[in-house]
Amino acid sequence: MNKRRSKGNALIESIVGVGIVFVPLVLFAADLAVMFHAAHANEEFAEQLARLCSTLPDQANAAKACTDVVKQYRLPANISKLEFSNLVFDAGLQEVSLTTSMIVSMPVPFPGYERITVSANVKQPIVSVPVAR
pLDDT digits (tens, 9 = 90+) for 23-71: 889 999 999 999 999 999 999 999 999 999 999 988 999 999 999 999 9
Query: What are the φ/ψ torsions at residue 120 (nearest 5 degrees)?
Result: -140, 135
pLDDT value at residue 6: 64
State pTM to two decimals: 0.81
Q: Which residue has the higher pLDDT, 18 or 97?
A: 97
Nearest to 110 by CA among 24, 51, 39: 24
Per-residue model confidence as pLDDT tens digits over 81-117? 999 999 999 888 889 999 999 999 999 888 888 999 9
